[in-house]
Amino acid sequence: MSIRLWQLHLITAGFSVASVACAASRAAQTSRDPQISGSPTTVVIDAGHGGFDRGGIPSQRIPEKEMTLDVAQRLKTLLAASGYNVVMTRDSDVFVPLPSRVAIANSYRNAIFVCIHFNSANRIGAGGIETYFYGRDSLPLASAIHYYVAGGAPSSNRGVRRRGFYVLRKTTVPAVLVECGFLTNPTEGEYVQTVSYRQKLAEEIAAGVRARNSVAASSTTRMATADSVPLQSYIDQTKTSNSERSRRHSRKKRSRSSSSKKKSSSKATGSEANVILNEQEG
């Protein structure tokens, strides 16, 4: 983080010099170049699920894998037009194992990872936008993306959350997983099935990517801070009326609190869907 801030100061200083030399040229450059010095930032876009992995829950009508891919492809177009080097973990309806997705992200030194998902729940009233990060270096990116997506969506704001999803734990670059609404929510599901709304989601995510450095340097209280977003265990977000599950979760909670180093049980070769299913409502 400190290195990034130091770089930002250098970039800011560079802006001052440039503004004296040629303000018009600088304006043109900043609108095109995602990074003023060095190679362009690589954005690895990860469309959740794919292939046999449809995403969501069995009773779900809207296929998550299709919605994530469509938003990802729109985001790709937007970011490429802004000068970013864009890499897709999948660009068609294929299944890509989570370790492969992570390996793609980690193969780029100067990269950020944006994972796109939609939520699902048995309780149809569940709704809203939530954005996940794990490593502290990922918080500015998560805050920026969440600020724009939650601000631009008609859905409720479920907040920026810190949790050890496989793709967030294993990536060595700033990584974010954004849940762009609940496909099982009638209102959000209707929105997501329109092209204009999926385009809107992509535009808001792109705005967050572009704004991530200003969030890192900003002290504004509108954004989440590292201290305000504690690490959440998987069971924290689980709301269920099933008493057996509640008891099971309670036992897990006790065992986890007695072993703070206990690792998550997400499967490396499985789908994030399974993890999310276990963690989200229902």
Q: Please report, as ranges, the residues that interact with Zn ion according to CB under 5 A.
A: 48, 55, 117
Count CB atoms within 10 A of the CB of residue 42: 20
Q: Toward Zn ion, which CB reaches closer, 34 or 50?
A: 50
CB of 126 to Zn ion, least distance (A): 14
> Measured from the CB of residue 193, what is the shortest distance to Zn ion in angstroms?
17
State the minimum distance, in angstroms, from the CB of residue 65 to Zn ion: 8
Q: Which is nearer to Zn ion, 49 or 74 (CB)?
A: 49
Output 230 or 270, the one with its CB closest to Zn ion: 270
Which of 78/276 has CB closer to Zn ion? 276
CA dist., res. 276 & res. 282, Å (int): 10
Residue with the shortest CB distance to Zn ion = 117
C-beta of residue 30 within 8 angstroms of C-beta of residue 210: no
Q: Where are the alpha helices (DSSP H) in the chain?
A: 2-21, 23-32, 64-81, 98-106, 139-152, 166-169, 186-192, 195-217, 243-257, 272-279
CA-CA distance, 27 to 12, in Å (whole number)? Answer: 14
Q: Name the minimum Å distance from CB 89 to Zn ion.
A: 13
Dihedrals phi, psi of 177, to nearest 5 degrees: -120, 120
Please, which residue, 146 or 210, has the CB nearer to Zn ion? Answer: 146
Separation CA 55–CA 48 (nearest Å): 8
114 touches 49 (CB < 8 A) = no
Min dist. Cβ of residue 132 to Zn ion (A): 11
Cβ of residue 103: shortest distance to Zn ion, in angstroms? 20
Q: Which residue's CB is nearer to Zn ion, number 55 or number 140?
A: 55
Crossing angle of the two packed helices 195-217 and 64-81, in degrees rounded to 10: 60
Token pair listed for 30: 């900043």
